Structure 1
Amino acid sequence: MHSWAVFVAIERHPQRAARPHELERIVDAGDQEPTEAIAEIRAIRAAAEAGL
């Protein structure tokens, strides 16, 4: 349930949700080193979680 709440906290704001989607595409494509993208995704999730 908690993961869903974090997901909703991010997705309810289209501008906030756009960046994680872009980062996920970078990771999925495998064309670049994913470390920075993963770290940013984690930071976005942590910020959303802190706001719950």
Structure 2
Amino acid sequence: MTVASKLIQDLTTGYTLMVQEATRLRMAPTLLTFMFNHLSGSPSTVDKKMGDVIE
């Protein structure tokens, strides 16, 4: 198993456990997704662009 596939498996398992626990506590789990456009540039340029959008 590669590191990437292990990470995906671990994340999936973790989120599954969180949803199961929330459901057990009678919470209503909600799936929230985001769509985004790729930001080009160096990491510092991308950080600046993201900061500008938040402000």
TM-score normalized with structure 2 length = 0.36
**Larger RCO (CA under 8 A, 6+ residues apart):** 1
TM-score normalized with structure 1 length = 0.38
Higher helix share: 1
